[in-house]
Structure 1
Amino acid sequence: MEKRYFIRLFILTSLFTVFFESSFAYHITTDSGFLVKGKIIATDGHIVEGASVRLKEIARHTLSNASGYFELKNVPAGDYQLLVSAIGYANYSQKLFVHANCDTLIISLKSSDAQLSDVTILSGINKFNKKETDDVARLPLKNIENPQVYSVIPKEIITEQMATDYNSIFKNVPGAGVPVVYNQGRSAMLSRGFTTANLIRNSISGFVYTNVDPANLEVLEAIKGPSGTLFNSSQISFGGLFNRVTKKPFDGERTELSYTGGGNSLSRITFDINHPLDSDKNVLFRMNGALHTEQSFQDFGFTKSVMLAPSFVYKVNDKLTFLLDVEASMFNATSPIRFAPSGSIHNIKDLGMDYKKSFSNNSLDYTTQQLNVYGQINYKLSDKWKLQTNLTRTYSATKGYVTQLSGKSDSTLQQSVQKEDFPYNGVEIQQNIIGDFKIGSFRNRIVAGIDYYNQRSDRNTPTITMPVINFRHPGKAYYNFNADVVDSLAPYATKYDVYRTNQFTYSAYVSDVLNITDRLNVMLSLRGDHFVDKGTYYPANDSTKGAYHQNALSPKLGVVYELVKDKLSLFGNYMNGFDNQTGTDYNGNTFKPEQANQWEIGFKADAFNHRLSSTISYYHISVSNMTRDDIEHPGYDIQDGTQLSRGMEAEVIANPFGGLNIVAGYTYNDSKFTRSDSSVLGLRPATAGPSNLANLWLSYRFLTGSVRGLGFGVGGNYGSSSFQTNTKTFVFTIPSYTTLDATLFYDASKWRIGLKVDNLTNEHYWSFRLAPQMLRRFSANFTFRF
């Protein structure tokens, strides 16, 4: 299998290399005339990528690259008007006298909400290609020179797809699968065959056990592989992590109001207000918010929420900047469906459960509160060094009823409910020093840091179990599952969980990207963690159990060679992640952290002025130190289990011609237990999801003429069949699915209108927890910009 992967990769890179080298050589040999070049930056110093640059008098046009640079070649001598425009910035023009090769022009653009000019609309920007980020490596590193694979879903595609909930954004992440929504509204997706929770915000802890509203989302970053070297391993999975980057203030005036209404009584208002608080624009303020109500497509179930997200920036001087970013929300809802099957039927479609029945009641609801405070201090020591301090304080609490359905036979189930009172508190403090310097002729980009993290939770939860009912013909018993009945049974609950947990992590890390040549770089990284679990405290007995501490090292190695400079690179990486394990074996030996080691090889392309961005790779993740039953000593575990997860990933973000944008992804994952209990040995974990997943979004917008601004989009997702349970004694499968979505919109400078249909074919499909997913829904959106 691995040989076949390498043959495919070799053929692909050979074709890319020949094509790009030929194209590059052609441009060099055919250039004549003079060269006009420059760099485009914003007034706040940020690089402006994708700015349209043209000479008015002749057909010379280009876009600025990821570093802000542009070149116009073969320019005849003469006098010209240079025009520069970019979305979100005021148009720029200057007279240009070309009689020789020009020195590098430095062009500074001001933020503006002015109407987009024709030149901006005609620029053909690959509007979904937002790969450049400092978050993945914690360094300013371009995607083409980064040895790690990641996807970035920008707000542009979120807006076009009219996403009204956070989980639907993951349709655009290769390999994410159908979201798993837990009882408190929190969610998890797949990454390389591992269930991956949403616990990272602005690159550090955003640990909240509640729903996340997307109104404050700038981009979603899906970082692939066991990334324990630069991120807290307790917040990620062996398959990767999802980093939600929030909107920040900028030095312009803007207000945006939006309303979305649709099927299932969807009613949603969002707002985004940005306003400098002083005339010098050193104190900036931005407020995002959302009000949301929605009913389930099933007979019972609802969601109501409110979210406010203020943020502030204070630029003390050219060296020192403070940022404060807050998210506060309240979320009232009923539990998502969670069903554990039992019996002789082995496929959810054959079970005969009514797709539109919830087997619950609106009185069995819960309320969550969330307060997430993020602060950052940036201090520029010199042109080569800066200090960065990050701080986050998280709080979330769930109070109310969370439900579960357990199958008892092929036709019966039992309802149960937990009355939760469950607060979570977390804090993380991180100090980084970031440098960019040379030793001899070798460029070094380095980040070194220390990190402190604490998480505490308190739980007060009785569990109430209802009588068994027939789910095919429940009769009047269907309505007995309500708050009044549950409250009357609560005093007789046989299971009552009251406890407290408290965990600490102390970390130090360093990562260096060494440029051996301008095309070859090597990344060397190492992290050390000291983990302390204070154990679980039971107040009824005034006792603590399970206290332990562990140390772990997490190395990372990456190599990138640019086959065609800034256009095509070959990369490879070795990465590590770990998961702390509690307990001891029969001999009293404390368990070690579970370890995951990945090696990966692939190619990245960024061509045609960023019109094409693509990544294709093969990865191999081996997990060791997994615990399993000790057959010789019943009641104990032994730590020698292993798991293998390997596969291919491909992503393409393309703008073949003006107006057309494409986002496509495909993943194949082969995962199995290679040393484990006999019941699952050699089998695919049920939590690994479908082995094949694909996503596609096609978007076209008219750029000229009387219908300029009119556009449409269509796309969908495919997942092969998967398992809810996969053991040698019981297998329960989830069928494959194909979903289609479509949107029609008209986007003007001051307003936008959009129509959307989700699940166009009314597909019946389920999550890993056997929660039925939403049926066909129509919605409409109106947005006004001031």
Structure 2
Amino acid sequence: MVRLLILFGFLTVININSFANEAEGGIIQGKVTTSDGQPAADVSVYLKDTHKGAVTNESGEFRIKNLPDGTYELQVSLVGYETVSKTVEVNNSKTVTVNIEINAASIKLEEIVITAGGNRFAKKESDDVSKLSLKNIENPQVYSVVGKELMKEQVITDYVSAFKNIPGAGIPIVYNQGRTTAISRGFTTANLVRNGVGGFIYTSIDPANLERIEVIKGPSATLFGSTLSSFGGLFNRVTKKPFDSFRGEISYSGASWDLNRLTLDVNTPLNKDKTALFRFNGAVHSERSFQDAGFTKNFLLAPSFSYQVNERLTLLLDVEMSGYKATSPTRLTPNTKGNIHSVEELAMPYKLSFANNTINYTSQQLNVFGQIKYKLSETWTSQTVFSRTRSSSDGYTVQLTMPTDSTLRQQVTSQEYPYYGTDIQQNVKGDFYVGPVRNRVVIGADFYALRSSRNDATINMPVLNYKKPGAAYNNFTVEKVSPLFSTATFVNYTRVRDNTYSAYVSDVINVTDQLLAMASLRVDHYKAMGEYWPSQDSVAGAYDQTALSPKFGLVYQVVKNQVSVFANYMNGFENVSGADAYGNTFRPQQANQWEAGIKLDALNNKLNATLSYYDISVTNMLRVDTDNPNFNLQDGTQKSKGFEAEVIANPIPGLNIIGGYSYNDSKYEKAAKNIQGLRPASAGPGKLANLWVSYRFVKGKATGLGLAFGGNYGSESFQTNTDTYAFTIPSYTVLDASLFYDKPVYRIGLKVDNLTNEKYWSNRLAAQNPTRVTVNLTFKFN
């Protein structure tokens, strides 16, 4: 680590000194405009095979100085636009003026783009959020985006760390097998969506192949279905795609606790016409826990191939393959009949894991995504998507329980869990006028299937004193644990087989030039084929349900393309099995959201903000029937309402600010007696805030040098919350800082997480990392 720090300082000094030695030379300057004549700000302009480049200012102008005489290939690139190349000759150290026009690409290709002076983190346009090409300011739904440039600046080495930038997400929960969830509007929300369709995996997610994370807020079943979204929203992982020029990078990160991480990102055209494109992302990662035991080792292979058959037809194949070996994350259940009611009272040693590295699991995942786009006409496009996932986990997982206030017991599960998911989706999209009224329409059909099986058993270890565990702590090894399963009872091959058949339609109408209306509807038929028990050759729990899910929204642009007010009604649902004491089968739970707010994309994209108030009512919840204790009633209700704000600002060139705040008031309005009127423990902290302030020098000798500072705050929350027992988790404030030096051919980054060494915990009472230092070195090539 010391050597890497010295290397960071050495290269920085060398590069700054090189500015002083540059001789005066020729200049290439000019202006970049879009096809509609507007200036193109924040566009990368660089000279191929050199270290020279620039980024256009607000007027689309650029200037590259100190050029020796010669012939250069000038390349201009911006995400969503075609890359433009132009040959420019510099003679006698004179100034050459070049004006360039860029056109929208036929397909939106993701690129590795360096931006500097503009609002680098405000790129929110997405085709997945509404399944239409709709600007954020036109969309009545709230969403946030965490892009790869922000993840690079924060030296993100694991998936959950990116969630620090999401308003209201809290501390993500890491489950056995590495699965993760976070909070959205008071509801636990899993990571089930990849590239807009089902991408469920039962293992960890490596961030190396992520272009961005899209966080879609509120019940979103209308366009995404109940099996993929929670009542609070969903998280969509957008993977990196090929683009039409050769470029790439190789990156190494080293950090505290023996973290070693190597990633590779290479993109290249495969033919002269650049109709066949290939991109490969890969990662190798290993680290140990800051506690006495615990580790993670993994690899990722992610090839992606696109082929433009002709002007109408484009094919895309995107694959992720990974393997993991790791110990279980901490999961602690306190004694609900005891006298300890908080983490502070528990006083468990922060660096003890109560685990052992020999007791671990291995997992694999394969995620295949295929897409066929066909331009039917000038106004209609067909999109066919196929997603197939397989993930499995084999080995040992551990959870901790407290039989008394002073003792702890380790429970070990021997498991074999394979999961299979299939999503086939067909969309037809139109953008057309009926008279003077513009319509943007998507009509879709979706089939989603999930298969899983289980083979597991659990054994209990002897209790031990968690403050002074003694020799029993050292006896927790695979050699001692494995023989205990010879007499354990295994649950064999309990299979879950669920199919969902859906159809939906959504139309965004420009009532006037500034007033837009959205109307959407989904019909969803869910068929649970039940759990199959081979030992009895019987099926249990089979049922099917049909639900309708509407969605409506209004947007009025007070200032065209800059300020809009919006309101929406959105619906979500969750299928429920069983019947009440009178034989009435249960209906799906329903969540109905009303929301209103304001969106800004003002001051030439220098200020991007969303402020909203939402009210979510959940009905048809189950609660115990007091007259028939062995049955449930379906008249329970829950309310979740609150305020969210997100601001992404670029007040001066080089200065970028991301800030978020959420307030959530969630409670059971009609429920079982022991939780009536209380906040669900799973809702997380009622108040959450995030901030990241970054400054990068965009002029002078220090161009590319930057520093950043930020942090996260969460109010007190609950691990358990009933009328007889509550266990609280304290509030936390975690501060981070970053220093980086970004040049055309390399990047050096230094990140310090948790500067003040704050002790804080997840909802599962997993202790979070203390102060951590990470150094990153990246080489770029083109």
**TM-score, normalised relative to structure 1:** 0.88
User: Alpha carbons of 1:49 and 1:480: their partners in 2 closer, same or farther (altered >3 Å)?
Assistant: farther
Indicate whether 1:292 and 2:285 are aligned.
yes
Q: Structure 1 residue aligned with 2:321, among 328, 343, 359?
A: 328
Match of 2:557 in 1: 562
User: Which residue is equivalent to 2:23?
Assistant: none
Partner residue, 2:43: 51
CA distance in 2, matches of 1:48, 1:231: 34
The equivalent of 2:16 in structure 1 is none
Q: Moved runs in structure 1, 4+ residues, more than 6 A?
A: 91-95, 109-116
Write the distance in 1 (CA, Å) between the matches of 2:307 and 2:694.
38
Kept in 1, the 8 Å contact 2:637–2:669? The answer is: yes
Q: Which moves more between the two structures, 401-410 or 295-304?
A: 401-410
Shift of 1:734: 0.2
| 1:289-338 Cα deviation digits (max 9, x unpaired) | 00000000000000000000000001000100000000000011000000
Q: How does 1:102-251 map to 2 (within 5 A)?
A: 106-108=101-103, 121=116, 124-251=117-244
Structure 1 CA distance for aligned equivalents of residues 763 and 286 of structure 2: 26
**Of the candidates 318, 336, 339, which is equivalent to residue 332 of structure 2?**
339
Tell me how far 1:141 sits from its aligned partner: 0.4
Q: Find 2:579's aligned residue among 571, 577, 584.
A: 584
Match of 1:510 in 2: 505
* Contact map agreement 1:337 1:358 (CA 8 A) in 2: yes
Q: Cα distance 1:268–1:291, how it changes in 2: closer, same or farther (>3 A)?
A: same
> What amino acid is aligned across from residue 361 of structure 1 in structure 2?
N
Partner of 1:6: none
Name which of 58, 75, 89 aligns with 1:62.
Answer: 58
The aligned residue for residue 743 of structure 2 is 748
Mark the CA change 1:113 to 1:736 in structure 2 (over 3 Å): closer, same or farther.
closer
- Equivalent of residue 701 in structure 1, options 691, 696, 699: 696
2: CA distance, partners of 1:453 / 1:751:
43
SS of aligned partner of 1:234: coil
Q: Would the aligned equivalents of 1:40 and 1:48 in 2 still touch at CA under 8 Å?
A: no
Q: 2:312 aligns with which of 315, 319, 334?
A: 319
1:767 aligns with 2:762: yes
Deviation at residue 41 of structure 1 after TM alignment? 9.3
Indicate conservation of the 8 Å contact 2:110/2:240, yes or no: no
Q: 1:180 is matched by which residue type in structure 2?
A: I
Secondary structure of the structure 2 residue equivalent to 1:447? strand
Give the C-alpha shift of residue 496 in structure 1: 3.5
Does 2:566 match 1:571?
yes
Residue 115 of structure 1 and its aligned partner are, at CA, apart by: 11
Q: Distance in 1 between matches of 2:533 and 2:389?
A: 24
Instruction: Indicate the residue corresponding to 2:425 in structure 1.
Output: 430
Amino acid at match of 2:766: A
Distance 1:63 1:390, change over 3 A: farther
Aligned to 1:168, what secondary structure does the other structure show?
helix
Distance 1:673 1:92, change over 3 A: farther
Displacement of 1:449 after TM fit? 0.5
* SS of match in other structure, 1:633: coil
Contact preservation (8 Å) 2:332, 2:764: yes
Pairs within 5 Å for 1:456-467: 456-467=451-462
Q: CA offsets per residue over residues 652-680 of structure 1, 9 Å max, x none?
A: 00000001000000000000000001100
Q: Does 1:490 align with 2:485?
A: yes
Q: CA deviation at 1:498?
A: 3.7
Q: CA deviation at 1:584?
A: 1.1
SS in 1 for 2:129: coil
The farther-off stretch of 539-548 and 241-250 is 539-548
Measured at CA, do residues 94 and 254 of structure 1 come closer, stay the same or move farther in structure 2, by a change above 3 Å?
Answer: closer
Match 1:657 to one of 630, 652, 660: 652
Equivalent position SS for 1:167: helix
Match of 2:445 among 432, 450, 467: 450
Contact 1:562 1:569 in 2 (8 A): yes
**Residue in 2 aligned with 1:731?**
726
Could you tell me how far apart the structure 1 residues matched to 2:113 and 2:522 are? 48
Give the direction of change, closer, same or farther, for the CA distance of 1:306–1:52 in structure 2 (3 Å limit). closer
How far the C-alpha of 1:704 sits from its partner, in A, is 1.5
Alpha-carbon shift at residue 50 of structure 1 (Å): 4.0
- The alignment status of 1:688 with 2:683, answered yes or no, reads yes
Structure 2 residue 297 is the aligned partner of structure 1 residue 304: yes
- The one-letter code matched in structure 2 to 1:226 is P
Structure 2 counterpart of 1:200, one-letter code: V
Q: What is the CA distance between 1:86 and its match in structure 2?
A: 4.9
The offset of 1:109, in angstroms, is 9.0
Rate the CA distance shift 1:108–1:439 in 2: closer, same or farther, 3 A: closer
Q: Is the 2:187–2:683 contact (alpha carbons within 8 Å) kept by the matching residues of 1?
A: yes
In structure 1, the residue matched to 2:257 is 264
Aligned to 2:592: 597
How big is the shift at 1:61? 5.6
Matched residue SS, 1:139: coil
Residue 255 of structure 1: how far off its partner (Å): 2.1
CA 1:94–1:602 in structure 2 vs 1: closer, same or farther (change >3 Å)? farther
Q: Which residue of 2 aligns with 1:719?
A: 714
The answer to whether 1:469 aligns with 2:456 is no
CA, structure 1 residues 263+543, in 2 after alignment: closer, same or farther (shift >3 Å)? same
Name the amino acid aligned to 1:289: G
* Alpha-carbon shift at residue 84 of structure 1 (Å): 9.7
Contact 2:44 / 2:113 at 8 angstroms: preserved in 1? no
CA distance in structure 2 between the partners assigned to 1:740 and 1:593 by the alignment: 42
CA distance in structure 1 between the aligned counterparts of 2:207 and 2:112, rounded to whole angstroms: 26
Change in 2 beyond 3 A, CA 1:52/1:321: closer
Question: In the alignment, which of 356, 360, 369 is matched to residue 355 of structure 2?
Answer: 360
Q: How far 1:494 moved relative to its partner? A: 4.5
SS at match of 2:462: strand
Distance of aligned partners of 1:114 and 1:519 in 2 relative to their CA distance in 1, 3 Å threshold: closer
Q: Displacement of 1:645 after TM fit?
A: 0.1
Q: Which amino acid is 1:482 matched to? A: T
Letter in 1 for 2:675: V
Name the counterpart of 1:278: 271
Q: 1:175 touches 1:666 (CA, 8 Å); kept in 2? A: yes
Structure-2 change in CA distance of 1:717 and 1:430 (3 Å): same
State how 1:19-38 maps to structure 2 within 5 Å: none
Say if 1:784 and 1:539 are closer, same or farther in 2 by CA, change over 3 A.
Answer: same
Structure 2 spans left out of the alignment, 5+ residues: 1-30, 46-55, 62-73, 90-98
CA distance in 2, matches of 1:134, 1:439: 23
Contact 1:642–1:676 (8 Å) recurs in 2: yes
* CA–CA distance in structure 2, aligned partners of residues 194 and 112 of structure 1: 32
* Residues 1:254 and 2:250 aligned together: no
Q: Which amino acid aligns with 1:346?
A: H
Amino acid at match of 2:43: A
| Cα distance per residue 1:680-718 (max 9 Å; x no partner) | 000000000000000000000111122111101110000
For 1:345 and 1:61, locate their aligned partners in 2 and report how far apart those are by CA, in whole Å.
Answer: 59
Deviations 1:538-577 (A, max 9, x none): 1111111000000000000000000111110000000000
Q: What's the counterpart of residue 521 of structure 2?
A: 526
Aligned identity (percent) is 57
Q: Give the C-alpha shift of residue 92 in structure 1.
A: 6.3
Query: Which 5+ residue runs of structure 1 have no aligned equivalent?
Result: 1-35, 54-59, 65-69, 71-82, 96-103
2-structure distance, mates of 1:115, 1:337: 39
- Distance in 2 between residues matched to 1:333 and 1:669, nearest whole Å: 34
| 2:33–2:40 Cα contact (<8 Å) kept | no
Q: Is the 8 A contact 1:698 1:715 kept in 2?
A: yes
- In 2: Cα distance, 1:252 partner to 1:93 partner: 16
CA contact (8 A) 2:328 2:397 kept: yes
Question: Which residue number corresponds to residue 67 of structure 1?
Answer: none
Q: Is the 8 A contact 2:77 2:113 kept in 1?
A: no
Relative to 1, partners in 2 of residues 1:382 and 1:587: Cα closer, same or farther, differing over 3 Å? same
Secondary structure of residue in 2 paired with 1:360: coil
